[in-house]
Amino acid sequence: MSQPHQQPADADFAPRCYRHPDRQTFVSCTRCDRPICPTCLRDAPVGFQCPDCVGRRSSSRVRTPTLPYGGKVVARAGLMTLVLIGLNVVAFIATAVTSPAGFSHNESSRIFGKLVLNPTVIAENNEFWRFLGSAFLHFGVLHLAVNMFSLFVLGPALERVFGAWRYLSIYLLGALGGALSVYLFDNRFNNVAGASGAIFGLFGALIVVYRKMGLNIWALVPTILINVYITLSVPGISWLGHLGGLVAGAVAAVIFVYAPRMHRALYQVGGVALLVAIMVGLTVWRTGALDRMLS
C-alpha cells in the first residue's frame, strides 16, 4: 500500500479535511493537494486522492459509444426516417393543394412542374435541382403510400447501423443515383418523380450490411423480387431510376462499411466526395450530349 503524502506533524496547525472541516488530517490529495481525512482518501497509483479527483479521472475514461461504421449512437433510431417521411408528405400536400385537379392529379401543380425530373428541361435550362427535388414528388396518394411504407420499414434499421447522417447520405445518394440513371438512359422527354430511387438505395445498403455481417442475404431476396416485379409490371414506373438508386446506395454503403478504421471519417468523406464527383462528371457529359441533340 502506498504511503500518504505527509504534511508537518504539528497538531496545533494540522489542516482540516476540505469535505469534513471538523476533522484534522495530515494527508493531502496527490492531484489537487487538498487535505483529506481517512474517510475521504482513495488509493491511487501514487499516494492518495480525494473523491472529486477520482471521480474526474473515472469520467474522463468513459468512452462515448460509437456505431460499427463510425458516428454516434442514435438516441432515437428512426427520427431521421420520420423527418424524410414528413418532407415527402409535405411536398405531396403542397402539390395537391396547388393543383387545379386537387389530390387526384397533383402532378398538374406548378410546384410539381418546377421539380419533376425531365432530362430535356434540365439540359435546356440547367435546372439540376430537379435531380433531388423530383425525389420528394409522387404521382398520387397510392404512389406516396407505397414508398413511405417501404421507407418506414427499411429506414430505422439502417439508421441504427449507420447513424443519422450517414444514413441520410445513403438516402440522398440513392436518390441522385436514380435520377442520374434516368438522365443518362431514359427517354429524354419523360417526366419521372418519386422516392423509389432513394428507397432502392437503402435496399442496396442493406445488402452490403448483410454481406459484411455474414447474415443470410437470401432473406432479402423475396422482398427485392416483389419490388422488382412491381417495377416491371406496373406501367409508368421507371426501372432505370430503381436500378440507379440500388447501385448508388450500395456503393455508398461500401464506402462507409469498408473504410479503414484509422482515419475512417476521412476515408468516408473522401469516398463520398469521389462518388459525387463521378456523378457530376456524368451529368456534365450527358448535358453536353443533350445540348447537341437539341440544337
Q: Which residues contact 44 (CB under 8 A, 6 or more apart)?
A: 2, 30, 31, 54
Which residue is catalytic, options 109, 150, 196, 238?
A: 196
196 is catalytic: yes
* CA–CA dist 183, 205 (Å, integer): 22
Burial, 181: exposed, middle or buried (Cβ in 10 Å; 0-12, 13-18, 19+)? Answer: buried
Type of residue found at 156: P
Q: Are 272 and 209 in contact (CB under 8 A)?
A: no
Instruction: State the amino acid at position 168 in one-letter form.
Output: L
Sequence-ordered list of residues with C-beta below 8 angstroms from that of 116, at least 6 positions apart, any chain: 107, 130, 133, 134, 137, 191, 192, 193
Annotated active-site residue 263? The verdict is no
Which of 44, 39, 65 lies closest to 55 in space, CA to CA?
Answer: 44
Measured CA to CA, the distance from residue 24 to residue 39 in angstroms comes to 12
**Nearest-CA neighbor of 147 among 95, 201, 105, 188?**
201
Among 5, 138, 143, 242, the active-site one is: 242
Torsion angle (degrees, nearest 10) of CA 58, 63, 65, 66: 180
Would you name the residues annotated as active-site residues?
196, 242
